[in-house]
Each structure stands twice: as C-alpha cells, then as structure tokens.
A and B are shown apart, each in its own frame.
Chain A
Amino acid sequence: MSGSSIWKGFVRFDEADLDNGESVGALGTRRLLNNLQHQADSFGRVLIAYPPVNDGYGLQRENSTETDLWTVHSVWGPFAMSVIPGKSYKVRFRIYGRLLTAGSLDVYVRLLPNDSSMVAPAGEIPNNNTDGISSAFTVTNTGGAWLTGDTELQLTQGQLHRMWRTRSTLNQVSGDPRGLRSPEAGIGILLGDTAGKLTFELGGLYVAEVYGDAG
C-alpha cells in the first residue's frame, strides 16, 4: 500500500551497510523507509481501559422520554489523535453495561471533537450522518456484560477538521512558548429515547486507536 510499510514489519539490516565510505543505495534506503513506515503503521494508543466492575459500581444515568432526543450518558477524554492525511481516523472499542430494570434501550458510542468544553451534542438523533457514531447497541440485559455489536468507529477526513485545537507548550525543556496545533478527541456514550425512563449502567469501556494500513 502506498504510504505504508511494504513488508508490514520491521526488517533487520546491518548498520555497517551505511558506514562511512559506503554508498547509500536504493535497497538500504528502501529498508530504512519501510522500517520507519512500519513504526508509524503500528503506532496506536490505548485511549480508554476501564476494566469491568460489579453491577452497581458502574456509571449510571437515565435516558430521555422525549422522542428522538439523545441523552448524554458520559464523556471520556480528551486524548490525542494520530492522523494520517487522506485517511479516516479509526478506533477499536468495546462497551460493558446493563439496564437497572427490564426494558430495551439503544446505546451509542461516538467520537467527539474536543472543542469548547467538549460537552457532548444534544438534540435529535441524526438519521443521515453516522460517521463517528456506532450502530445502536440494543441493551436488554440487567446483568453486566460486554455488549455485542460494532467494534470500530471512524471519522472521515471531512469530519476531522473539528478535532483540531491549539494548546500552549514549550519548544524544548525550559524553552520558549509555542502554539501546538494537534487533533484531540473524546468518546461520548449516548442513550436513545424510550417511552418510559430506563437507567443504563456503564460498567466498562475499552477504546484503542487502530492506526495501521488496513485502509
């Protein structure tokens, strides 16, 4: 794949190939670039690792009974994103939870921009824009369990522009102030509407960047 490691792994070679007096050939450079690209391909942070807890120790919140209105259950983050120009941004995720009482409730996982106070969006559930939002996890279980459904979230290049923010940092230790413009995101857990209120308990969550070269 153009722009990524061609061997999908680190390739050993002898540093003596590039000793003084030796020419720097295409083969050595090809290995060098492959290895650097693989370092980047395999880069990816574990953003959330919230191990499952016993029922009753998770984060609980009621949903809304208003038609087509999200309820923001919780917001996680922010964290830094690793972005490849021209590619979508992807994370792998898994969610653990339950309802406190019998019923059926749709739960969604969404990548959020880290802008202003990073308050999650409120309002109607969009029907035509699912980028960065999981399909519904229809929760009916009243005992805590990993929920079955989507395992991946994506943001398209067109949506990534909302993720950029500027922070102040230093150019070196004890150095001069510099503006650092970089993408940051959060994860929102959103609840759908039901005729009667239900309480969802989030008992565990796992989110990791899927950087790679899988498209």
Chain B
Amino acid sequence: MPTVPSTRITGDVQRMLAGEPISSADFQQQASLMNWLVGQGRQLVPNHRPVGDTGAVTLSAGSYYQYRYWDSPTYNNIDRLWSMTVQGEDYQLTVPGGSAVDSFGVDAPADLYSPSNPMSPSVFLQRRGSYSATAADMTLRIDAGNADCVAHQIGCFELNRSHVETAVANEGVDSNEFGVSQPIQRMDMDNLMTALGSDTTMGERVLLNWAVPYAVNGTTGTAFARAFTGASYNSLFKAGIPMLGRIRYVGDTTKSVQARIFCWVSGGGAATARVNYNGSTGTPSAISWTAGSAQWRTFANFTIDTEDLDVTDGRRGSVWKDFNIEIAVSSGTCYVASAFVAENN
C-alpha cells in the first residue's frame, strides 16, 4: 500500500518540455504528490470558544451539554483528534459515535489561571470504522463532573493518513507503476486522472464550525444559544470573522460556499436569516422559517473572495473580508446554537 509523504512533494513542471522525454522520476513525483494530497486531513472544526455573545458560560456540575456540529469529512479519513480546553475539576467527553472518555485519562488542567499550570489543551481520539465523505450532523457531549466547568476551546482535525489504498475511491497511486525503463500504460494514469476530477473535494476548506450548547441534560434549551427578537436584523457575532476561499481555475477571484445554522423559533413566531459578506447582504436570498423543532437550515450557495497567492498573507487586496449572519424575527424568539460555512466546489 503506498505511503503518504509527511511533507509535500514539489515536482518541477518546467522540466517537461515538448519533444523531450519525461523521466520515470517525474511520474513518481506526481504519484507521491497525489498520495500526499489524498492523505491530508481536514480541519473539521476550526478551534473556537464555544460561548455566545450573551447567555450562559458555565457548565454546571452534574449536568451534560450537547453541541451540534456539521461534519464534512474527507473520504480517506480514519482518525480524528478533538482538542478541548475545559477549566474545571473533572469532566467527560463523548465524541460523535464514541463512548465517554474521562478527562482524568488525559492531561486536563484544573485551573487555567494558575501561573504554574497554564491552560493546556487535551486531545481525544475519534476513530471511524468505514470510509465516507458523506456530510452529516454530529453531536459532541460534555459532562461536567463534581464541579462547574467552562469550556474554553473546542476544535477537531482529521489526522493525516500514513498509507492510502489504490482503490479508485481512495485515489492512492502506486509509484511502482512508473518504474525506470518500464512502459507507462494508460491504466497507470487512472488514479492521477481521477485526482483531477476530485479537485473540488481535495483541500476543501471548512471556514467556520461554531457551536454553543443547544441542549442541557438531553433537552433543547435556551440558556446558551444566541437569542434574537425584533423585526430589525441583528448579527449572530459581535463582528464578522475573516473568510477567504481557495483558487480553483486560473483567474478565479471568487469561491462558492455553503452556509447553514442550527436554530429554532419559540413563541409561535417566524424568523428570517441572511448572510453578510464584506458588508453585502443581497446574496444569497434570505431564508425564513416558522416555529418548530431545532434543526439545521441551509442558505443557498453564495460566493466569497478567493485568496491571492501573490500576496504574502493571501489577503486579496490586502484587506480583510469578513463574514457574519443576521437574524430578524417577526414575533417570538429565534435561537441559534451553531453555524457552519464551508467550500462546496
């Protein structure tokens, strides 16, 4: 089974000249680069502080709290690492699809503010039992132990692969197919060609995956979620968060993305949500819903700016372009507990 290089392979395109032979080593470099690309994990949940602009911050002793995230895995992923910083005596974490892990089993600091014991994140493993790139809802659970806790940080990233299969779906490439003095056949190129067809998913970025507890002790609650009332639009976040996408084709300056929020309305009202990117709110059209159970609601696709690879920090025009979501409510109260944004092609 091909190994995944631990660092990126850099082949030299300029060596491939019309009329000149292409060496076996050049093809092997392409195969290794392909394995690197399909073996890279995704940052599924960019690290964030799971606290809202308003509402509760403390997780009370003896209670459990559930966070809703949107899962958009890479097909090849097996292991994921959840990084947590929770200030408190003890707590348990239950990763999606897993069993509870006691914080005593890892290095969980008791006091963030002690000079001798600065905040140190703990890491929890989630192992998947099958390959899948299917996006889905996922729930993370924190059980506060004998004392109150504060969750300061949650994040999750896919561990890179050590090896990758050559099955069509896995897209690994066997560099032995490109041996010195050996003929290179069309089928040897298959997975490299498949790779080009996967350009929409390889390296796809999760741009935001933010959540506060939507449920306490198994019951949907309003203690932590951001609450909205009134017919005027109010922002989900105090200020926008920077957001830029990848360049796909030559000359691209915009990137299509998808956004969704986990929300509900109480009091028999109706709510409307819209996206604000760099001060513009017209596209996509706002979405509206009426009272009902908490669920994910999805915006139509919209575009954000791409990075500029000629600018050292990647900011197009060397300015920040920020993203926010705005909510208006006709009557009742709208609650938002999660927000997700990712590239979608």
Across the two chains, which residue of chain A brings its CB closest to B185? A20
A17 to B248, CA, bound (A): 21
Please name the 9 residue pairs, one residue from A and one from B, whose CB atoms are nearest each other, closest first. A9-B250, A3-B10, A51-B237, A49-B46, A45-B43, A52-B239, A72-B118, A42-B246, A52-B238
Q: How far is the CB of A45 from chain B (nearest CB, A)?
A: 4
A186 to B81, CA, bound (A): 14
A183 to B153, CA, bound (A): 21
Complex contact B162–A179 (CB within 8 A): yes
Among the listed A7, A208, A214, which residue makes an inter-chain contact with B311, where contact means beta carbons less than 8 Å apart?
A214
Say yes or no: is B96 at the interface (Cβ < 8 Å to chain A). Answer: no
**Quick one: given A50-B49, A72-B118, are A30 and B314 in contact (CB under 8 Å)?**
no
B33: chain A residues within 8 A (beta carbon)? 36-37, 40
The digit string for B138-168, where 1 denotes a CB below 8 A from any CB of A, is: 0000000000000011010111111101000
A6: chain B residues within 8 A (beta carbon)? 13-14
Most buried by A among B34, B48, B52, B152: B48
A181: chain B residues within 8 A (beta carbon)? 6
B189: chain A residues within 8 A (beta carbon)? 18, 24
Say yes or no: is A84 at the interface (Cβ < 8 Å to chain B). Answer: yes
Complex contact A9–B131 (CB within 8 A): no
B129: chain A residues within 8 A (beta carbon)? 173-174
Say yes or no: is A210 at the interface (Cβ < 8 Å to chain B). Answer: yes
Q: How far is the CB of B73 from chain A (nearest CB, A)?
A: 13
Across the two chains, which residue of chain A brings its CB closest to B311? A214
Binds B, one of A73-81, A101-109, A132-140: A73-81
Say yes or no: is B180 at the interface (Cβ < 8 Å to chain A). Answer: no
A123: chain B residues within 8 A (beta carbon)? none
Say yes or no: is A27 at the interface (Cβ < 8 Å to chain B). Answer: yes
Q: Contacts A9-B249, A204-B238 known; list 13 others, CB within 8 Å.
A: A5-B13, A26-B16, A26-B19, A29-B22, A40-B37, A46-B46, A47-B46, A53-B237, A77-B47, A86-B10, A180-B159, A182-B6, A214-B312
The digit string for A54-68, where 1 denotes a CB below 8 A from any CB of B, is: 100111010010000
Q: What is B's interface to A at a CB cutoff of 8 Å?
A: 1, 6-8, 10-14, 16-20, 22, 26-27, 29-30, 33-34, 36-37, 40-43, 46-49, 51-54, 57, 78-79, 81, 83, 85, 107, 112-113, 115, 118-121, 123, 127-131, 152-153, 155, 157-163, 165, 184, 186, 189, 192-193, 195-196, 199, 202-203, 205-210, 236-242, 244, 246-252, 307, 309-315, 320, 324
Q: How far is the CB of A55 from chain B (nearest CB, A)?
A: 8
B49: chain A residues within 8 A (beta carbon)? 50, 53, 58-59
A49: chain B residues within 8 A (beta carbon)? 46-48, 207-210, 241
Complex contact B78–A57 (CB within 8 A): no
Q: How far is the CB of A90 from chain B (nearest CB, A)?
A: 8
**Quick one: given A57-B53, A76-B153, are A171 and B20 in contact (CB under 8 Å)?**
no
Q: How far is the CB of A66 from chain B (nearest CB, A)?
A: 10
**Quick one: given A10-B249, A171-B163, are A85 and B205 in contact (CB under 8 Å)?**
no
**Quick one: given A3-B10, A30-B13, are A19 and B120 in contact (CB under 8 Å)?**
no
Complex contact B40–A84 (CB within 8 A): no
Across the two chains, which residue of chain B brings its CB closest to A60? B113
A50 to B153, CA, bound (A): 9
